[in-house]
Structure 1
Amino acid sequence: MALDSLAVGTVPWTIKGELILNCNCTVFCPCVVSLGQHPPTEGHCQAWAGVRIDEGQYGDTDLSGLNVGLFLEIPGNMGRGNWKAAAFIDDRASDDAFEALSNIFSGAARGTTGLFGILVGEFLGAEREQVVFETHGNERRLQVGRKIQGAVVPVGGKDGKDIVVTNTEYWMGPDITVATATKGRVRAFGRVWDFDGRSAEICQIDWHGPK
């Protein structure tokens, strides 16, 4: 069934994979444990994120193997809204997959990412880009054309294992690996951001909708 014949917000969808995020917080993002009620360390949030979709479906449309880049700008506490956001959709996506991912990452598809529809005051749009998400050892790398160049690595604990904040109610997932950015460069929408050495997160995601 063609996507344009289905009402947005009623289509069953799932995404399983990994998300990485790097923001301008100087230490680990307080939003994870405060659930957006504590302000970012710099008073505002500027961030990029990358999603690797290992398995995904939107209705009859397969999303598996695709990548998505995200641009986020939040003026204060995450939970207070008024975000600006944009999605960069893998240029390998079919037209149906592009539409599906646009619906998911704008919040229109409801479900896990439905909060975008509530918190984002200005969705700057979805556009096709070459989005490359790679893992080299423990480093995750994201390249979104010339707009985002990012790399994050987990922060090790006393026993050599990654530091993980577990059993949270954070929207991305319950277990967030504490990380730092070895590269965090954004050149998009008139912004020039460099977040090398700043806070980062790694999360295994299992999202779904519309409920």
Structure 2
Amino acid sequence: MAWELSGTYFEHCPCGMVCPCTTSGLTLPATVERCTVVLAFHIDAGTIDGVDVAGRTAVVVADAPRLMSEGGWKVGLYVDDGATDEQFAGLGAVFSGQRGGLWAAVAGLVGEMLGAERVPITYADEGRTHRVRVGDAIDMEIEDWVLPNADEVATLTGMTFPAPVLTMARSTRSHVDAFGVRMDSPGTNGHSAPFAWAA
């Protein structure tokens, strides 16, 4: 059976604005020695093999070489503790790339899975501000960037992952100690966008 998911997402990494990994399709190196990134996805609507996963939140934590296209990523997954066993298994299969689609392309770059856990997650998407708290492991917030004398947030177009148009943003709060991946990088890069995938 097929799957489809849609909702909102945001991410944060320690690169300066704007992340060269994202904007180059992983062909340029990060501005730091290791690329540590957290991507938080809140699912507004979706099914996996007929199982409704609306309302669930998944958070991907990755540690990768400076040039992410080299592969060897270390990746962990959190799913909110409201998920049933079926929802947890389905989301794990999608975000690990086992079910094809967008995440299958990423899966080829992963060298080690650090684990998958159900934990309390609080996700908020409030206008230009996006925040997530994952147990005691992650507490981060980003704010979409508005250029001086402008009314709308700045965006990047022509992107492929995880959505074709991403806002530019910067972190206003940054604490990550998850699956051995650590990051404290307030004031650095962030992106947010609605997403819609299917396979």
By the TM > 0.5 criterion, same fold?
Answer: yes
The count of aligned residue pairs is 198
Confirm whether residue 128 of structure 1 aligns to residue 115 of structure 2.
no
The equivalent residue for 1:6 is none
Structure 2 stretches of 5 or more lacking a match?
Answer: none
- For structure 1, the residue ranges without an aligned partner over 5 or more in a row are 1-10
Q: Which residue of 1 aligns with 2:52?
A: 62
How high is the TM-score relative to the length of structure 1? Answer: 0.89
Letter in 1 for 2:35: C
- Counterpart of 1:100 (choices 90, 98, 112) is 90
156, 161, 171: which is aligned to 1:165?
156
Which whole-Å deviations, capped at 9, do the CAs of 1:149-189 have from their partners, x for residues lacking one? 01011000242210001133x22111010000101110122
User: Contact conserved, 2:76 with 2:179, CA < 8 A, in 1?
Assistant: no
Determine what percentage of the aligned residue pairs are the same residue. Answer: 29
- 1:137, CA displacement in angstroms? 4.0
Over aligned residues, Cα RMSD in angstroms? 1.3
Q: Deviations over 1:112-146 (max 9, x none)?
A: 11123211110112110111111234211101000
Output aligned runs, 1:40-189, within 5 Å. 40-157=30-147, 158-168=149-159, 170-189=160-179
Q: Is the 8 A contact 2:69 2:109 kept in 1?
A: yes
User: TM (normalized to structure 2)?
Assistant: 0.95
CA distance in 2, matches of 1:141, 1:19: 10
- Paired with 1:137 and 1:18, the residues of 2 have a C-alpha distance of 12
Which aligned segments of 4 or more residues in structure 1 are displaced greater than 4 angstroms? none
